Amino acid sequence: MSHAEDLTVQQALEAILESISVLPSEQVPIVEALGRVLAEAVVAKESLPPFANSSMDGYAVRSGDLAGVTIDSPAHLTVIADIAAGAVPSQRLAPGEAARIMTGAPMPDGADAVVPVENTNEPWRNPERPLPEIVQVYRAVGDGDYVRHIGEDIRAGTEVMSAGHLLRPQEIGVLASLGIESLLVVRRPKVAVLATGDELLPISEPLSPGKIRNSNGYAQIAQVLAMGAIPVPLGIAKDDENDVRSKLQQGLDARADLFVSSAGVSVGAYDVVKKVLEDAGNVGFW
């Protein structure tokens, strides 16, 4: 056993963490996975995007048709299709042809680039204007310009998240995009919280001479919740070995994984927590 003054904070932290092991895992739906820790790696079964698609509203084209074009010398392309997001294009672009395309819509066969609508002579999505027969293009584009390619974000077979990763809202979105409905996460720890001292009162009671309210207990419960754990409130124990022992037993009966207590561990005549712990097991340091 070591006295607290013999240890640095870092040494104390290391000593504590050496005795802590990872809890068992459980399967949860992704809507309940926020703030949880992955128990196993997530490997993508599909590529994202799963198909080549447009990153702009504009016209799918063959980039070779636009070599050297300028605003003063535009290309004139025949428009053969109108491709909306969610559609499956059925026509193949031949030289000199284009297809109007929405952001996220699949690229048609034969097309290798997209020209943003701002670089053409056509106003966008005027409901009274039909699909044009000819579109003028004022800007050259290269192979792959404004195209999201298959696997550009995530390739099938790659590890997307490793075990031990803390799940934030953005990870939940990635999991949904990969079609993962549920996953293995580490079980939430149950943390028993105990405050000790004859001077403490429940917050519902009025103050009386020599008494203060149990603020530490509520602050520690809030800390447990903030860390994503499950608090097990044990209330207040008097400065009495039997009462402290009884409260700790309540935590054991509730199958707590960790105990957090405040007060009762100094050298005062009524500081009994350390004595109770020594009677029950080993005190690593204090």
pLDDT digit string (tens) for 243-269?
888 999 999 999 999 999 887 666 555
pLDDT tens sequence across 74-125: 999 999 999 999 999 999 999 999 999 999 999 999 999 999 999 999 877 6
CA distances for 276 relative to 92, 142, 232, 233, angstroms: 81, 76, 20, 19
pLDDT at 106: 97
Q: What percent of the chain has a predicted confidence (pLDDT) above 90?
A: 72
Is-contact 83 117, C-beta < 8 A? no
Residue 177 DSSP label = H
The pLDDT confidence band at residue 1, using thresholds 50, 70 and 90, is very low
Mean pLDDT of the region 26-45: 96
170 phi and psi angles, rounded to 5 deg: -65, -35
pLDDT at 200: 87
118 exposure class (CB count in 10 Å sphere: 0-12, 13-18, 19+): exposed
The pLDDT confidence band at residue 127, using thresholds 50, 70 and 90, is low
Q: What pTM does this model have?
A: 0.74
Mean pLDDT of the region 167-173: 96
Distance from C-alpha of 119 to C-alpha of 200, rounded to nearest angstrom? 74
pLDDT at 276: 84
